[in-house]
Amino acid sequence: MQSRVAIEKQFRLTRIALFVVWAILSAVVVAWSVSAAKQRALSDVMQKAGETLSVQTEILSGVLDKYRLLPPLLSRQSSIRALFVRDVDGNAQSVDARRTAEAISGMSAARDVAFFFPDGELLANARGSFADRAEGLPELIEVALQGRLGRAALSNSQGERTYAFSSGVRREGKFVGVVIVYVDFYRVEVAWALSARRIFVTDKTGTVFLANDPDWRLNPISQLHQPGDVDRFLINGRFEERIDLVRRLPVLEWDLHVLADPAPVAAARLNAAATASLAALLLGVIAFVVLRRNEEAVIRARSDRATALRLERVVRDRTRALSITNQSLSQEVEVRREAEDRLRKTQDELVQTAKLAALGQMSTALSHEYNQPLAAIRTYSDNALRFLDRGASSEVSGNLARINGLVDRMAELSRTLLSFSRKPGATIGPVPLGTVVDEALLLARPRARAAGIASITVGEAVSGLHVVGGRIRLGQVFVNLVNNAIDALSGQPDAQIGIDARREGDRVVVTVIDNGPGIEPELLPKVFEPFFTTKGVGDGIGIGLSIVDNIIRDFGGTITVSNRATGGACFTVNLKAAEPGDAQVAGETAPRSEGAEV
C-alpha cells in the first residue's frame, strides 16, 4: 500500500509540472499563431487594396492625361484660331464655334468644350453649366495668357464636379482666346462603384472631390474620418474601422484613397487563436492521458507482481487439492457415463412402453375385432359341414371363401400389431404417408368405434405424398394423435376426426383435427411437455404427445397445436417431403434400420 501511495505522489507532481509547462507553451504558441495569422491576413488585405489603388491611380491618371493634351492640340489648329474673329460690328462667329465645340466634345467624350475671348466673354461651348457660369475662368485665362497649361478642379452648388484644362490661342503672336476642356468623371466613379472597397479622392483643402459613395462627395474628410490608433470612417451612417491606403497625385495635388475592411484580419486572428488553443488543448489531453495510462500501467505492474506471488502460493496449494479432486472426478465421470447409458436405454424403453400402453388402451376394441371374425368363422364352418352332408358343394365353397376373407383380415390386423409393437432401428428414409396413416387407422379404428366416434376421414391428397421418416415411429405418431382425439371426443355427439395433408415446397404439412371442446388457451404451450395431462388420475401419465414431439424433431420436422375457429383442436405436423420413386413398398413391414426414439 505504501508503494502505491509513493507512486501516486510521484505522478501527481509530474502532472503539476506538466500542466505548468503546457500552460506556458500554449500561451506562447497561441500568441505566435495569432501574430502570424494577423500578419498574413493584413498582408493579404494590404496587397489586394494596394492592387486596387494602383489600378485606380492608373485609370484616373489615364483619363486626365487624355484630356490634358487636348487643349494644346486644339489651340494650335488654324480652324480653331479662325473662330476668334469679330466682324466690323464686333460680332463673333458663335454658330461655327458652337458646332466645332460640340463636334470636339462628342468625339473626345469630354464633359464640355468652351471657347473664351481674353476678356472672359464666352464665344461658344458644347454643353454644361461650368462654361455658362464661367466658374474658375479668371485663373484659367491668366495661366493660359502666360503660355502655360491651365488646370483647375471645379464644383458648383448642385454637386457637379469637373476638372478643367485651358490653353491659350495665339494668332500672329497675339493672344486672341482660350480653349477650355472640362473633364467628365462619371465613368470613373461608375467603375469605382463596382468595387466593394470605398474609393475616394481628396483635394489640397481636404475635401472629398471624387468618391464611389455619393454621400461623401464635396464633404470635408474631417467629418467622415475619426483618426486614432485605428482609423474609423463613416460607413452606412456609422463609423467603422478601415485601413486607409493613400496614393499622392502630385501634379493634381490630389490624394487617392482606398479603404480596406480589416474584418478578415480579425477573423484570421480569431481562427488562429481557436485553432492553436484547440491544438494545445488536444496535445495537453493526450499528454495527460498518456501519463495517466503510464501511471496505471506502473501500478498495475506492481499489483500484478504481488498478485503473481500470491497466486503461485495458491496454485501450489490448489494443485495438491486438484490432484485429489481429479481422481474423484474421474470416478464421477465414469458413474455419469454409466447413468447416461442407462437413461438412453430407459428412454428407448419408454417409447416402447408408450406404444404398448396405446395397444393396451385399444385391447378391448381389438378383442371385439377378433371375436366377431372368430364367431363368424365358427358359424360358416358349421354351415359348411351341413352343406357337405346335403351335397351342396357350391354353398360349401362360398362359406370357405368367406372364412378365408375373415382369416386374411385377422392376419392383416395381427401383422400391423406386430409391426407397431416391434422396437424400431436407427435409420430414417422416404416412406409413403398414405400407407403409414392407413396402418395407424387400422389400429385406432376399433377403439374409435368403441368410443362412439361417428367418422374418421382421410383427405385424398394423403395417399399421394411421401415424407422422410421411420415407418414404425411415424405410425406411432398418428396412432397417438388419433387416440388423443378419441379421448377428447369421448362422450361427444356427432364426434368426427379428420386427417389431411398438402405439400408446400420441399415440406409436407399434415393436419389432424377434431370437433371436440379444444384445449384451454393457457394450456396450449404445455401440451408437449413430459407428464403433462388433462386426463383424470389413472387415465394417462402425459408422455404420449411428448414422445410424438421428440419423434417429429428426430425426423427434422415440427409439430404445433392450436384451437380451430369452429371448435376442436388442430395438430399440425410439418415434415420433409420425399420423392415417390424413393418410397418404401406400402405392404412391407417396418425395416430393422429405422430410427429409435430418445
d(CA 152, CA 149): 10
* C-alpha cell, 33: 499563431
Is residue 538 helix, strand or coil? coil
First to last CA, the chain: 60
Looking at the structure, do residues 109 and 186 belong to the same domain, yes or no? yes
Lowest average pLDDT, out of 439-443, 534-538, 550-554, goes to 534-538
Q: At what angle do helices 363-390 and 393-421 cross, to 10 degrees?
A: 160
Q: How does residue 467 score in pLDDT terms, banded at 50, 70 and 90?
A: very high
What is the residue type of 476? Q
pLDDT digits (tens, 9 = 90+) for 117-130: 888 888 888 877 67
Res 351: pLDDT: 61
pLDDT exceeds cutoff 60 at 597? no
Co-location of 100 and 162 in the same domain: yes
82-86, 256-260, 350-354, 447-451 — which is least confidently predicted?
Answer: 350-354
573 pairs with which residues across the strands? 510, 559
Kindly state whether residues 83 and 177 are assigned to the same domain: yes
DSSP letter at 203 equals -
Q: Based on the fold, state whether residues 441 and 571 are members of the same structural domain.
A: yes
Q: Same domain for 140 and 246?
A: yes
Number of domains in the chain: 4
Q: Which runs of consecutive H residues, i.e. helices, occur in 362-457?
A: 363-390, 393-421, 433-450
Instruction: Judge residue 591's burial from the number of C-beta atoms within 10 Å of its C-beta, 0-12 exposed, 13-18 middle, 19 or more buried.
Output: middle
- Give the DSSP per-residue string, 79-136: HHHTTS-B-TTS-B-HHHHHHHHHHHHHHHT-SEEEEE-TTS-EEEESS-SHHHHTTT
C-alpha cell at 264: 478578415
Please tell me the predicted confidence (pLDDT) of residue 588.
38
**Which DSSP symbol is given to 212?**
S
* Grid coordinates of 35: 501574430
Examine residue 164 and state whether it is found in any structural domain, yes or no.
Answer: yes
| The three grid cell numbers given for residue 470, joined into one nine-digit string | 421411420
Are the C-beta atoms of 495 and 482 separated by less than 8 Å? no
Place of cell 405439400: 503
C-alpha 183/C-alpha 130 separation (Å) is 11
Whether 580 has a pLDDT exceeding 80, the answer reads: no
CATH number at residue 582: 3.30.565.10
d(CA 430, CA 419) in angstroms, rounded, equals 18
Are both 577 and 440 inside the same structural domain?
A: yes
Q: Is residue 348 part of a domain?
A: no
356 or 189, which is more confident: 189
**Taking residues 5-33, what's their average pLDDT?**
84
Q: Quick one: pLDDT at residue 595?
A: 34
- For residue 203, pLDDT beyond 90: no
The CATH number of residue 91's host domain is 3.30.450.20
Q: How far apart are CA 506 and CA 289, in angstroms?
A: 61
137 has a pLDDT exceeding 50: yes
User: Do 273 and 221 fall into the same domain?
Assistant: no
Q: What is the pLDDT of residue 121?
A: 84
pLDDT of residue 596: 31
SS3 384: helix
Place of cell 467629418: 223
To the nearest whole number, what is the mean pLDDT of the chain? 80
Q: Tell whether 347 is covered by a domain.
A: no
pLDDT exceeds cutoff 80 at 405: no
Same domain, 49 and 161: no
Domain check: are 125 and 232 in the same one? yes
Q: Band of the pLDDT at 80, cuts 50, 70, 90? A: confident
| Domain assignment present for 350 | no
CA 330 to chain centre: 57
Q: Do residues 126 and 108 lie in contact, with contact meaning Cβ atoms separated by under 8 Å?
A: no
Contact 489, 514 (CB under 8 A): yes
Supply the range of the domain harboring residue 160.
76-260
- pLDDT band for 563, please (50, 70, 90 cuts): very high
Question: Which of 354, 386, 420 is the last residue before a domain boundary?
Answer: 420
Amino acid at 364: T
Q: Are 162 and 172 in contact (CB under 8 A)?
A: no
CB-based contact 597:547 (threshold 8 Å): yes
Asked if 181 contacts 67 with a C-beta cutoff of 8 angstroms, the reply is yes
Identify whether residues 33 and 169 lie together within a single domain.
no
Residue 346 lies in a domain: no
Residues contacting 155, CB < 8 A, separation 6+: 161, 162, 209, 218
Answer yes or no: is 103 within a domain.
Answer: yes
DSSP secondary structure string for all residues of 320-372? HHHHHHHHHHHHHHHHHHHHHHHHHHHHHHHHHHHHHHHHHHTHHHHHHHHHH
Beta bridge partners of 197: none
For residue 504, give every residue at least 6 positions away whose Cβ sits within 8 Å of its Cβ, in sequence order, or none: none
Sheet holding 243-249, edge to edge: 208-211, 198-202, 254-260, 243-249
Q: Are residues 206 and 237 in the same domain?
A: yes
Asked if residue 344 is part of any domain, the answer here is no
Are 514 and 497 in contact, with CB atoms under 8 Å apart?
Answer: yes
Identify the weakest region by mean pLDDT among 169-173, 470-474, 594-598.
Answer: 594-598
Which of 280, 303, 337 is a domain's end point? 337
For the stretch 525-530, contacts whose Cβ atoms lie closer than 8 Å and that sit 24 or more positions apart, written own/partner, are 527/561, 528/559, 528/561
CB 133 within 8 A of CB 156: yes
Output the nine-digit C-alpha cell for 73: 492640340
Rounded to 10°, the helix 471-489/263-361 angle is: 80
Q: Is 65 exposed, middle or buried (0-12, 13-18, 19+ CB in 10 A)?
A: exposed
Distance between CA 333 and CA 482 in Å, rounded?
43
Task: Confirm whether 312 is domain-assigned.
Answer: yes
Residues 49 and 160 grouped into a single domain: no
Q: Which of 573, 598, 558, 593 is nearest to 511 (CA)?
A: 573
The alpha carbon of 216 is separated from its chain's Cα centroid by a whole number of angstroms, namely: 56
Domain C-terminal end among 260, 288, 303: 260
